[in-house]
């Protein structure tokens, strides 16, 4: 509790962004000056401190100015740079001893990677333009020149630089002043906590006419509910981002889970530099980490962007089948980093702008007759004559614009997607590998797991807390109309932890909602951008693209019907072996915590033996035994498999009697369940039909119930500003009210939990 109720992983920002590039690749100082002018015109999009001079952060990411750097290296370092070299922009401590130690670590790690240290150059700065708040944390900023060994190829050099930088960052993690703004053979970053107009005054390099570039990415930050810091100013090492990554906790968790799946010959030592994605920086910096990893590992930049921030494709009727196959195939590698997002980025060759699937951030572009293209949050960011405009437009939802300054090529979304979708036979692979579970269903009847009498159903209802009020007010409307019941707003019941009644574990969780700078989504009017599509199967190496990746089971919803559950449970495909795990335990022999730990070990052993579909079931009630609550089981197994690097080798199916409404099912999915089979709900619906409480058929009741739950899930996703269930899975977008740290650490790692409370012992009673 050293930080009180504050969480280090809750950095958010909303900003102005843009890029300027010469489409023919001609470098000039004028282009840089134009970018600074454009950045200054977006001052109103950034934050400013009370001192009137400290900004929330602004900066530029430009091509490596080769002639300029060779000149200053010769002047300052008395060294001649080799043909292939890199420059690191280093932010160091003001303390002399600490700075010397940092430089020793840098030298050691470069030497370990076989890279040469050609020299250090203190970047000329003028702190007079900074405000007092920025001055308090002002680092020493230096350029580090790094020489590649003779004969080393560009891609190998980039990979060595990446590994060296990650080792340096891990060794100096305790030095809060240390930060590497860029560490590249292609780009250089200039940024800080100044106002945009003062950027060229602080960095004297930017006023030097010898500094030329053909690409400039720029960004003005508005820090949302968080204090500005020098490292959080943008652009980062590849991109600048305007928006919110609403699924950031899940994305970070899945990046840990997928660490064993990142295998590239360019990066053989990745396990030595974990975490691959930071967990305490801003959401934008984590996205930059992942994009950088994919690009340096060998994935084409456009493909990486389309994987991380895909357009809406699931429900688009007129989409090109080849493009649909491409996006479906890429979705098997990684969930979308979802939320409103406007991105501009460069790797030194390509300048790219991309928008999220809902187009919730503005982006306008203008191409003038001098071959300069400008993309920014708004039009008019610099003075150009209207008669000089060749073309102009805006980026819409899911759009992408790319400028290749080497080939002199400008590509639109249609051209990029057409090219990417035809590089490999994605459609053929999907046709051969994807199993639609509906094709294996028995359409002759509906069978439920175990035959329960009305008396037994009442026993299950009592055990799992299904009240007669739930039957009438929750399940009946779902079964009759396919809609959740309309009710008055507000909840005047005591918090579960304070209640004198026995409350479900689900009641300890409150859904988070969009409350920073991102809007919620309308699940009715924007349904085309939303998807509950779920894929089951084993994930493979993310850097390999072949037919084996397409061997998956496709579900149109994570909520399983009895038919789909049985088709999945009894499937005989060699790629999807199944094992069922009974959640009952003997309280005389072990307590609840021990039972959960044993379950995790049992699932781990099964996954190591090759099981892919792991069904956690609380169906079989046994006298004198207690079931582990499904939410405990799902959360603990999910977290444990991540820790032992097996989560991406298995799928967690929750066959439970405890979940019956959309909140409870969303909690299971949010804590890691791949799919949920609410078997007791189907038994209760059958009982209600037999008793006359429902007048519809069994088939209609089941279909309506699932339809209503699906609508409820869409509503839960939408109010958090999330479009896909895959991004919601494992993101634990809840706040736990009244659970002790032991429960949170074991079962719900990463969830917001500010109030202590119930223990495992309390739930066991």
Per-residue pLDDT for 4 more than 60?
no
Q: Establish whether 15 is a catalytic residue.
A: yes
Determine how β-strand 12-13 pairs with β-strand 16-22: unpaired
Tokens 């602080």 locate to: 202
In angstroms, the CA 242 to CA 287 distance is 12
Handedness of CA 292, 294, 298, 299 (dihedral sign): negative
Strand 54-63 relative to strand 12-13: parallel, antiparallel, unpaired? unpaired
Query: Greater confidence, 538 or 497?
Result: 538
Which among 615, 581, 610, 619 is positioned nearest to 598, based on CA atoms?
A: 581
Burial of 172 (0-12, 13-18, 19+ CB in 10 A): buried
Element (H, E) at 752: strand 752-758
Q: Does residue 639 contact residue 746 with C-beta atoms inside 8 Å? A: yes
Q: Is the pLDDT of residue 626 over 60?
A: yes
Read off φ and ψ for residue 415, nearest 5 degrees.
Answer: -70, -40
465, 466, 470, 476 alpha-carbon torsion, rounded to 10°: 160
Sheet harboring 409-411: ordered strands across? 223-224, 12-13, 239-243, 341-346, 350-355, 400-404, 409-411
Averaged pLDDT for residues 22-42? 96
Identify the pLDDT of residue 561: 94
Which long-range contacts link 409-412 to residues 24+ away (Cβ below 8 Å)? 409/23, 410/23, 410/367, 410/373
Model confidence at 137, pLDDT cuts 50, 70, 90, reads very high
Residue 585 CB neighbours (<10 A): 20
Q: pLDDT category, 3, cuts 50, 70, 90?
A: low
| Burial of 325 per CB tally in 10 Å (0-12, 13-18, 19+) | buried
pTM of the model: 0.94
**Predicted pLDDT at 445:** 44
Three-state DSSP class for residue 214: coil
CB distance 560 to 554 below 8 Å = no
Q: What pLDDT does residue 441 have?
A: 39
> Contact 308/291 with Cβ under 8 angstroms?
yes
pLDDT tens digit sequence for 527-579: 899 999 999 999 999 999 999 999 999 999 999 999 999 999 999 899 999 99
Smallest CA-to-CA distance from 423 within 317, 299, 537 is with: 299
How is 348-392 classified by DSSP, letter by letter? SSEEEEEE-TT--S--EEEEETTSEEEEESSS-SS---GGGEEEE
- Pairing state between β 54-63 and 223-224: unpaired
Query: Rounded to an integer, what distance in angstroms lies between the CA atom of residue 131 and that of residue 52?
Result: 7
Residue 448 has pLDDT above 90, yes or no: no
Residues facing residue 510 across a β-bridge: 735
Structure tokens at 144: 């580090």
> How far apart (Å, rounded) are the C-alpha atoms in residues 357 and 378?
19
Q: How far apart are CA 636 and CA 646, in angstroms?
A: 13
pLDDT of residue 447: 56
Q: What is the DSSP letter of 139?
A: P
Q: What SS3 class is residue 565?
A: helix
- Please name each of the domains of the chain with its CATH number: 13-431 (3.60.20.10), 456-530+558-764 (3.20.20.70)
Tell me, what DSSP letter sits at residue 449?
S
- % of the chain beyond a pLDDT of 70: 95
Cα(460)–Cα(683) distance, rounded to whole angstroms?
A: 10
**What distance in Å separates the CA atoms of residue 522 and residue 530, rounded to the nearest whole number?**
10
Place of tokens 């919601």: 728
Checking if the pLDDT of 581 tops 60, the result is yes
The rounded distance, in Å, linking the Cα atoms of 559 and 534 is 10
**Is 737 strand, coil or helix?**
strand
Taking the C-alpha atoms of residue 344 and residue 354, their distance in angstroms, rounded to an integer, is 7
The token pair that represents 83 in the structure block = 């043909």
Strand partners, 147: 85, 116
C-alpha closest to that of 220 among 56, 62, 356, 351: 56
- pLDDT for 518 equals 62
Name the DSSP class of 261: G
Question: Distance between the two ends of the chain, CA-based, in angstroms?
Answer: 29
> Which bin fits 758, alpha (ψ -120 to 50), beta or left (φ > 0)?
beta
| Assigned token pair, 142 | 């230096």
- Average pLDDT across the chain, whole number: 92
For the segment 196-209, the average pLDDT, to the nearest whole number, is: 96
Residue 387 predicted with pLDDT over 90:
yes
Residue 709's SS3 state is helix
What is the mean predicted confidence (pLDDT) over 423-452? Answer: 73
Lookup: tokens for 468 = 């007669």
CA 276 to CA 289: how far, in whole Å?
7
Write down the residue that tokens 């934050």 correspond to. 47
Q: Taking Cα atoms as reference points, which of 58, 34, 36 lies closest to residue 46? A: 58
| 143, 121 contact by CB (below 8 A) | yes
Burial class of residue 81 in the structure, from the number of CB atoms within 10 Å of its CB (0-12 exposed, 13-18 middle, 19+ buried):
buried
Q: Is the pLDDT of residue 227 over 80?
A: no
Q: pLDDT > 90: what percent of the chain?
A: 78
Give CA–CA dist 117/114, Å, rounded. 10
- Confidence tier at 439 by pLDDT (50, 70, 90): very low
The pair of three-digit structure tokens given for residue 681, joined into one six-digit string: 């709900």
Q: Is the pLDDT of residue 681 over 80?
A: yes
Name the pairing type of β-strands 578-582 and 613-617.
parallel
Looking at the DSSP assignment, which residues form a beta bridge with residue 192? 58
Given a contact cutoff of 8 angstroms between Cβ atoms, the answer to whether 760 and 592 are in contact is yes
Longest Cα–Cα distance in the chain:
92
Segment (H or E) for 100: helix 96-112
**Which residue is listed with tokens 């037919």?**
547
The 3-class SS string of 631-680 reads HHHHHHHHHHHHHCCCHHHCEEEEECCCCCCHHHHHHHHHCCCCEEECHH
On the question of a cis peptide bond just before residue 235, with omega within 30 degrees of 0, the verdict is yes
Among residues 15, 189, 600, 671, the one annotated as catalytic is 15
361 vs 634, which has greater pLDDT?
Answer: 634
Q: Is the pLDDT of residue 149 over 50?
A: yes
Other CB atoms within 10 Å distance of the CB of residue 589 = 9
Give me the pLDDT at residue 437, please.
77
Confidence check: pLDDT of 426 > 50 = yes
**pLDDT band at residue 450 under the 50/70/90 scheme:** low
Peptide bond into 655 cis (omega under 30): no
Residues with Cβ within 8 Å of residue 151, at least 6 apart in sequence: none
Tokens of 446: 């509906």
Give me the phi and psi of 492, to 5 degrees please: -95, 10
Q: What is the pLDDT of residues 299-343, one digit of tens each?
A: 999 999 999 999 999 999 899 999 999 999 999 999 999 988 999
Tokens (6 digits) for 679? 């078997």
Stronger pLDDT, 158 or 501, i.e. the higher one: 158
Cα–Cα distance for residue pair 671/249, rounded to 1 Å: 11
Q: With b meaning 16 or more CB within 10 Å and e meaning fewer, what string describes 439-456? A: ebeeeeebebbeebeeee
- Buried b / exposed e across 695-731, counting CB within 10 Å, b at 16+? ebebeebbebbbbbbbbbbbbbbbbbbbbbbbbbbbb
Q: Is the pLDDT of residue 425 over 80?
A: yes
Report CA Rg, the chain.
28
């Amino acid at each position: 509790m050293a930080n009180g109720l504050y969480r280090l992983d809750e950095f958010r920002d909303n900003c102005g962004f843009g890029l300027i590039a010469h489409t023919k690749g001609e470098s000039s100082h004028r282009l840089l000056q134009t970018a600074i002018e454009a950045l200054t015109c977006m001052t109103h999009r950034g934050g400013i401190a009370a001192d009137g001079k400290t900004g929330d952060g602004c900066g530029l990411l430009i091509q490596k100015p080769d002639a300029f750097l060779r000149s200053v290296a010769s002047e300052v370092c008395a060294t001649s740079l080799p043909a292939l070299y890199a420059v690191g922009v280093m932010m160091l401590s003001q303390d002399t001893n600490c700075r010397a130690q940092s430089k020793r670590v840098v030298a050691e790690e470069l030497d370990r990677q076989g890279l040469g240290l050609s020299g250090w150059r203190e970047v000329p700065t003028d702190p007079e333009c900074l405000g007092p708040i920025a001055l308090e944390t002002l680092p020493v900023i230096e350029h580090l020149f790094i020489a590649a060994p003779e004969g080393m190829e560009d891609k190998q050099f980039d990979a060595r630089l990446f590994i060296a930088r990650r080792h340096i960052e891990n060794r100096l993690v305790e030095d809060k002043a240390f930060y590497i703004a860029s560490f590249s053979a292609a780009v250089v970053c200039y940024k800080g906590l100044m106002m945009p107009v003062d950027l060229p005054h602080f960095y004297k390099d930017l006023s030097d006419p010898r500094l030329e570039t053909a690409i400039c990415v720029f960004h003005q930050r508005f820090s949302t509910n968080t204090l500005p810091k020098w490292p959080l100013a943008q652009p980062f090492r590849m991109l600048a981002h305007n928006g919110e990554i609403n699924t950031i906790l899940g994305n970070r968790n899945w990046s840990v889970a997928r660490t064993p799946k990142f295998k590239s010959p360019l990066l053989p030592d990745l396990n030595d530099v974990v975490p691959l994605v930071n967990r305490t920086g801003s959401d934008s910096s984590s996205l930059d980490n992942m994009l950088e990893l994919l690009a340096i590992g060998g994935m084409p930049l456009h493909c990486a962007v389309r994987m991380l921030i895909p357009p809406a494709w699931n429900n688009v009727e007129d989409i090109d089948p080849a493009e649909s196959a491409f996006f479906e195939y890429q979705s098997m590698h990684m969930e979308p980093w979802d939320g409103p997002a406007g991105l501009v980025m460069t790797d030194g060759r390509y300048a790219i702008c991309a928008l999220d699937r809902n187009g919730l951030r503005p982006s306008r572009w203008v191409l003038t007759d001098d071959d300069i293209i400008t993309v920014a949050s708004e039009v008019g960011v610099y003075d150009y004559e209207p008669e000089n405009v060749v073309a102009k437009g805006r980026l819409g939802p899911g759009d992408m614009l790319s400028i290749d300054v080497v080939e002199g090529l400008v590509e639109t979304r249609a051209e990029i997607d057409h090219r990417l979708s035809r590089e490999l036979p994605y459609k053929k692979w999907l046709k051969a590998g994807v199993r639609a579970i509906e094709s294996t269903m028995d359409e002759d009847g509906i069978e439920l797991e175990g035959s329960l009498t009305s008396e037994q159903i009442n026993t299950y209802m009592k055990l799992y807390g299904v009240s007669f009020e739930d039957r009438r007010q929750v399940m009946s409307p779902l079964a009759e109309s396919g809609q959740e019941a309309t009710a008055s707003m507000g909840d005047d019941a005591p918090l579960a932890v304070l209640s004198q009644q026995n409350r479900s574990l689900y009641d300890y969780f409150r859904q988070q909602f969009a409350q920073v700078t991102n809007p919620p989504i309308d699940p009715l009017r924007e349904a085309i951008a939303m998807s509950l599509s779920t894929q089951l199967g084993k994930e493979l190496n993310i850097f390999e693209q072949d037919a084996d990746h397409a061997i998956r089971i496709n579900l149109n919803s994570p909520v399983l019907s009895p038919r789909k559950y049985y088709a999945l449970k009894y499937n005989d495909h060699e790629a999807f072996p199944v094992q069922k795990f009974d959640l009952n335990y003997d309280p005389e022999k072990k307590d609840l915590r021990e039972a959960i730990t044993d379950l995790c070990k049992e699932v781990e052993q099964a996954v190591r033996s090759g099981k892919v579909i792991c069904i956690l079931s609380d169906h079989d009630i046994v006298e004198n035994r207690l079931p582990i609550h499904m939410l405990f089981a799902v959360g603990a197994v999910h977290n444990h498999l991540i820790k032992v690097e097996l989560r991406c080798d298995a799928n967690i199916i929750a066959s439970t009697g405890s979940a019956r409404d959309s909140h409870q099912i969303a909690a299971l999915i949010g804590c890691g369940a791949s799919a949920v089979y609410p078997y007791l709900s189907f038994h209760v619906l059958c009982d209600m039909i037999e008793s006359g409480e429902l007048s519809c058929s069994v088939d209609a009741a089941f279909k309506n119930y699932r339809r209503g739950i699906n609508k409820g899930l869409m509503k839960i996703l939408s109010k958090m500003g999330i479009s896909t269930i895959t991004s919601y899975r494992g993101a634990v977008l809840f706040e736990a009210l009244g659970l002790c740290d032991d429960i949170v650490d074991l079962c719900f790692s990463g969830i917001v939990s500010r109030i202590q409370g119930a223990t495992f012992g309390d739930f066991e009673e």
